[in-house]
Structure formats: structure tokens, C-alpha cells
Amino acid sequence: MAKPVIAIVGRPNVGKSTIFNRIVGERVSIVEDIPGVTRDRIYSSGEWLNYQFNVIDTGGIDIGDEPFLAQIRQQAEIAIDEADVIIFMTNGREGVTAADEEVAKILYRSKKPVVLAVNKVDNPDMRASVYDFYALGFGEPFPISGSHGLGLGDLLDAVAEHFKNLITEEYDEETIKFSLIGRPNVGKSSLVNALLGEERVIVSNIAGTTRDAVDTSYRYEGQDFVIIDTAGMRKKGKVYESTEKYSVLRALKAIDRSDVVLVVIDGEEGIIEQDKRIAGYAHEAGRAVVIVVNKWDAVEKDEKTMKDFEVKIRDHFQFLDYAPIVFLSAKTTRRIHTLLPQIVRASENHALRVQTTVLNDVIMDAVAMNPAPTDKGKRLKIYYATQVAVKPPAFAIFVNEPELMHFSYERFLQNRIRDAFGFEGTPIKIFSRARK
Ligand code: GDP
Ligand code: GDP
């Protein structure tokens, strides 16, 4: 089920990023964090009661040299385009300002539900000041304090009320959902067209779903696929579309809804820093990944070129050591048929559940071959292992003392699990737990 998306909007300094950080809290990453990706977070997941959702801090999306009012108007438009529920944030210490009214005007035009928050209401005496905010026309204002963490429960209750009315799209479990990410001009749209242009592809819709995203469903050799947010690659002609933060936001949303992410690289231009960041988003989200080197037709090649490029990729994207690499040309469609089998395999491995007995045989063989090192006279004892999750596969290893599990030994076990079960295309994770 796709998670609902909340956007926080409001003029600068009302406390949007403070509240964003409170709502998303400490993130429990299923795969390791990559520096540069975690920094500057404007999109993250949160949880309240039984609801899981994603949150956008629109204040983190700066729109070039646009004047102040144009910036906050565009941030409000992004919220309307990208979110299911909007938190409109104001400052109780300053009262209703002209800039708040500007934001309100944009939000009136949308059908999206808006919950009004009045921040910086740090103590109960200040609660009387919130009544002025009824004038903005969004019903009951919710007093909160980002600094003190007050009122957030009531605010999120009001937001979650709106989740109940959302129709979130649901694809069949058997359907493989994938998205294409990569910087502009690497050939994402061309690649989608090439895939859909294949013989025997039956495209069932390229229409809007219940959400704003436009997905493309198709069937190929009996397997259903959905390309997530295909239209996200088409231009709507809005000013903010060309900004870096907005494209990051779109990519993160698409990744979140996918099983498999294709990280598309321009083989002609080579790898640049931005590619690495984009690839990092897919890894951090714990999705299966296939690396696609496009425009291979435009590369002058000899028998070493592909191997050399592969070495470069492995060097730049060390965190994606599990991802297969496909070289192809969207333009000539050469080698395009090699892509789908990799997508299918990565997706299967992402959802793979291994047998507990076989898993334990693998772990015990590994331990016998390479016993855990001692630490200050104590030795790590491994009792048994079990798979606790899929998408991506995660394993709990029950031990005497989790602190004795060193990173390098965990790596060793992880590699043994990979050697035994494959898992090509998907990250996997190991947790050590004390046996009770
Ligand atoms: P944004 O520009 O809307 O994202 O605002 P920030 O989250 O960066 O906050 C702007 C300033 O307001 C910072 O100095 C925060 O520490 C402060 N602030 C945020 N929430 C509160 C609050 O509840 N009470 C008070 N007194 N200050 C707050
Ligand atoms: P996007 O911005 O990532 O969606 O990239 P596009 O699909 O719009 O492609 C950007 C440019 O690269 C266009 O001029 C395409 O014709 C060109 N292009 C795309 N795929 C290939 C390819 O396989 N080979 C070559 N030589 N050019 C390509």
C-alpha cells in the first residue's frame, strides 16, 4: 500500500523544519546511511498510531532567485501537487501576517485537505492567541510548540483523520513495480519508450491513477509490470520543476513506491557526483537496484571498454555492490532485452524468504570455518539465525552478547549468506540480538 504524503508549508521561520524533524524523528535505517544523502533531508517517513506516512518539508525546496513571495507560493503549489494532506504552519507569536494570507490564497484553490498549525505556542497562556487564526479560513487552528514538542499528537490526529478518506492505489502482489532515476538527459524517457515499444508488450494504461502520479502498467511474457511515475519524467512547465530539490523529491517519492529502482547512467558522459547521490537514495530506501548504463551505442568500444566501465561503477558505487549492471542503448534498443530479466530477478530476490534450517546450516558452516574472534577474553557465541523481513531481506542473529559482533564479522556472515542464497540485486541486512 502506498503511504500517504504530508507536506508542511508556510512562510520562512515559522518552524517547519523543526516540526519536520520532530515528526520523522530518528530514522531507523534498514541499510547503512550514505553521507550526503542523509544531510539536507526534505522528504522522510514518519509514523503515528497505526499510520505510516511520508513528510515533505517544502521550506527545504529553494527555488533559485525567485522573490520571497513567489518562493512561498511555489512551495505551496508543490505541496498541492505532491501531498495528500497539507499542514499549513503559522507562528502564534507573530499573529496572521500578509505572507500567511498569500499562502492561504494558494491553498484555497486546492481540493487537498489542509490542517492549520499555529507554532511557537510554548505555554498554555499563549493559547488565546490562536483564535485569530480562524480568520485564515481553514477551520480549527492547532496550537503546537516545535521546541517543546507540545500539541503534535492532536495535530497528527487531525491529519490522520484525512488519511481515512484517501484512496491509495494498490497493485497486485505479483506485479513488479519499478522506477527509473537518474539526472536529466541520461535517457530515462527514451528507455521507458524503448521498453514499451518492445514486441509483445501490452500496455494497459498510461492514465492518471487515483493519486497524482501517472504510472504505466504493462504485461510482458505473462508478467505484469508497473513503471512508477512515468509522467514524472514529462514536463508540466512549472517554474520549480527544474530545481534540483524538486527532482530529488520526485525521485524519492518514486523510489518509495517501487520494488526495483533502475539507476540510469549516461555511458557517453560517464559517472559524475550527482549520479552517486541519486544511487544513494535507492540504496538507503532498501529497494532492489539495477544499474543501467545507457547510450552504449555512442561509446567507442574495444574488448576492454565494458570491463573498464564496470570497474569504475564498482569503485564509485561501492554501496551498490549487489546491483547488476546492464549496458544498453535506448536509442538503438540494442541489448534492451537483457534488462527485464534483471529486473525480475532483483525483484524476486528482494522478496525472497529463505528456509530457516538452510539459513542455520549456512551460518553454522561459516562459524566453523571462521570462528568469531574473541574480545577482551570473551567470545561471541552464535545460537541461531532467522529471517525477520523481506523487501529487503533482513536477518536476526541470536548471540550471547550483541556488542561482541564486530562490523567485519557481520560483513563476513552477510557475504556467506549472499554466497549461499544469491540475493543479486537486493540489499540485505543483519541484526544481532541477545538470546533471551
Ligand atoms: P522554518 O524556516 O519554517 O523551517 O523554521 P525553523 O524550523 O528553521 O525554525 C525557525 C526558528 O524558530 C528556529 O530558530 C527555531 O528554533 C525556532 N522555533 C521552532 N519552533 C519553535 C517553537 O515551538 N517555539 C519557539 N519559541 N521557537 C521555535
Ligand atoms: P531523460 O531526461 O533522462 O528522460 O532523457 P531523455 O530520454 O529525454 O534523453 C535525453 C537525450 O539523450 C535525448 O536527446 C535522447 O535522444 C538521447 N538518448 C537517449 N537514449 C540514448 C541512447 O541510448 N543513445 C544515444 N546516443 N542517445 C540517447
Cα 60 to averaged position of ligand 1 atoms, centre (Å): 14
**185-199, 316-330, 342-356 — which is least confidently predicted?**
185-199
Q: Ligand 1 pocket test: which of 8, 11, 13 has the largest number of ligand atoms within 8 Å of its C-beta?
A: 13
Whether the CB of 119 sits within 6 Å of ligand 1: yes
What ligand is nearest to the CA atom of residue 117?
A: 1
Cα 16 to averaged position of ligand 1 atoms, centre (Å): 7
pLDDT of residue 70: 87
pLDDT of residue 249: 87
d(CA 384, CA 403) in angstroms, rounded, equals: 16
- On whether 365 is known to bind a ligand per the annotation, the reply is no
Check pLDDT > 50 for residue 293.
yes
Q: What is the CATH number of the domain that holds 231?
A: 3.40.50.300
Check pLDDT > 70 for residue 98.
yes
Whether the CB of 60 sits within 6 Å of ligand 1: no
Asked whether residue 145 falls in the same domain as residue 180, the answer is: no
Instruction: Mark which of 138, 164, 190 sits at the end of a domain.
Output: 164
- Number of structural domains found in the chain: 3
Whether 264 is in a domain gets the answer yes
pLDDT of residue 125: 85
Whether 18 is in a domain gets the answer yes
Whether the CB of 397 sits within 6 Å of ligand 2: no
Whether 367 is in a domain gets the answer yes
Whether 170 is in a domain gets the answer no
Among candidates 357, 351, 369, 372, which has minimal Cα distance to 425? 351
C-alpha cell at 332: 538503438
Whether the CB of 195 sits within 6 Å of ligand 2: no
Cα 319 to averaged position of ligand 1 atoms, centre (Å): 35
| Ligand 2 atom closest to Cα of residue 180 | 3
pLDDT of residue 336: 94
Mean pLDDT value across residues 106-130: 92
Which ranges constitute the DSSP H helices of 285-402? 305-316, 339-350, 356-369
Q: What is the CATH number of the domain that holds 366?
A: 3.30.300.20
Check pLDDT > 90 for residue 13.
yes
Dihedral (C-alpha) 196, 202, 207, 212: value to the nearest 10 degrees?
A: -70
What ligand is nearest to the CA atom of residue 92?
A: 1
| Ligand 2 atom closest to Cα of residue 330 | 23
pLDDT of residue 28: 57
pLDDT of residue 207: 47
Instruction: Mark which of 119, 137, 164 sits at the end of a domain.
Output: 164
- On whether 117 is known to bind a ligand per the annotation, the reply is no
3-state secondary structure at position 297: helix
pLDDT of residue 209: 44
What ligand is nearest to the CA atom of residue 235?
A: 2
Mean pLDDT value across residues 225-253: 80
pLDDT grade for 374, boundaries at 50, 70 and 90: confident
Cα 145 to averaged position of ligand 1 atoms, centre (Å): 9
Whether 169 is in a domain gets the answer no
Whole-number percent of the chain with pLDDT over 70: 92
pLDDT grade for 243, boundaries at 50, 70 and 90: confident
Check pLDDT > 60 for residue 211.
no
pLDDT of residue 169: 65
> Which residues, other chains included, contact 143 with Cβ-Cβ below 8 Å and sequence gap of 6+?
92, 118, 121, 126, 127, 130, 150, 151
Check pLDDT > 70 for residue 1.
no
3-state secondary structure at position 18: helix
Whether the CB of 330 sits within 6 Å of ligand 2: yes
Asked whether residue 259 falls in the same domain as residue 361, the answer is: no
pLDDT tens digits, 193-204:
999 988 777 776
Q: Who has greater pLDDT, 231 or 274?
A: 274
Mean pLDDT value across residues 329-352: 96
Whether the CB of 21 sits within 6 Å of ligand 1: no
Whether 171 is in a domain gets the answer no
Asked whether residue 410 falls in the same domain as residue 339, the answer is: no
Whether 337 is in a domain gets the answer yes
Asked whether residue 151 falls in the same domain as residue 291, the answer is: no
- On whether 14 is known to bind a ligand per the annotation, the reply is yes
pLDDT of residue 210: 44
Whether the CB of 233 sits within 6 Å of ligand 2: yes
Asked whether residue 124 falls in the same domain as residue 195, the answer is: no
Instruction: Mark which of 164, 197, 220 sits at the end of a domain.
Output: 164
Cα 329 to averaged position of ligand 2 atoms, centre (Å): 9
Helix or strand run (H / E) with residue 283: helix 273-284
Asked whether residue 147 falls in the same domain as residue 210, the answer is: no
Query: Average model confidence (pLDDT) for the chain?
Result: 89
Asked whether residue 298 falls in the same domain as residue 202, the answer is: yes
d(CA 355, CA 341) in angstroms, rounded, equals: 24
Cα 147 to averaged position of ligand 1 atoms, centre (Å): 7
- On whether 313 is known to bind a ligand per the annotation, the reply is no
Whether the CB of 190 sits within 6 Å of ligand 2: yes
d(CA 83, CA 222) in angstroms, rounded, equals: 34
Check pLDDT > 90 for residue 359.
yes
- On whether 245 is known to bind a ligand per the annotation, the reply is no
What ligand is nearest to the CA atom of residue 329?
A: 2
pLDDT of residue 45: 86
Whether the CB of 350 sits within 6 Å of ligand 1: no
Q: Who has greater pLDDT, 63 or 433?
A: 433
**153-167, 229-243, 284-298 — which is least confidently predicted?**
229-243
Mean pLDDT value across residues 318-345: 96
Asked whether residue 228 falls in the same domain as residue 311, the answer is: yes
Asked whether residue 363 falls in the same domain as residue 333, the answer is: no
Mean pLDDT value across residues 21-35: 71
Asked whether residue 228 falls in the same domain as residue 312, the answer is: yes
pLDDT of residue 213: 54
What ligand is nearest to the CA atom of residue 181?
A: 2
| Ligand 2 atom closest to Cα of residue 186 | 3
pLDDT of residue 387: 97
C-alpha cell at 359: 539459513
Asked whether residue 223 falls in the same domain as residue 341, the answer is: yes
pLDDT of residue 232: 67
Using only C-alpha atoms, the chain has a radius of gyration, in whole angstroms, of 24
Whether the CB of 16 sits within 6 Å of ligand 1: yes
- On whether 232 is known to bind a ligand per the annotation, the reply is yes
Domain span at residue 127 reads 5-164
Asked whether residue 19 falls in the same domain as residue 157, the answer is: yes
Mean pLDDT value across residues 403-418: 93
Mean pLDDT value across residues 301-315: 95
Whether 425 is in a domain gets the answer yes
pTM: 0.86
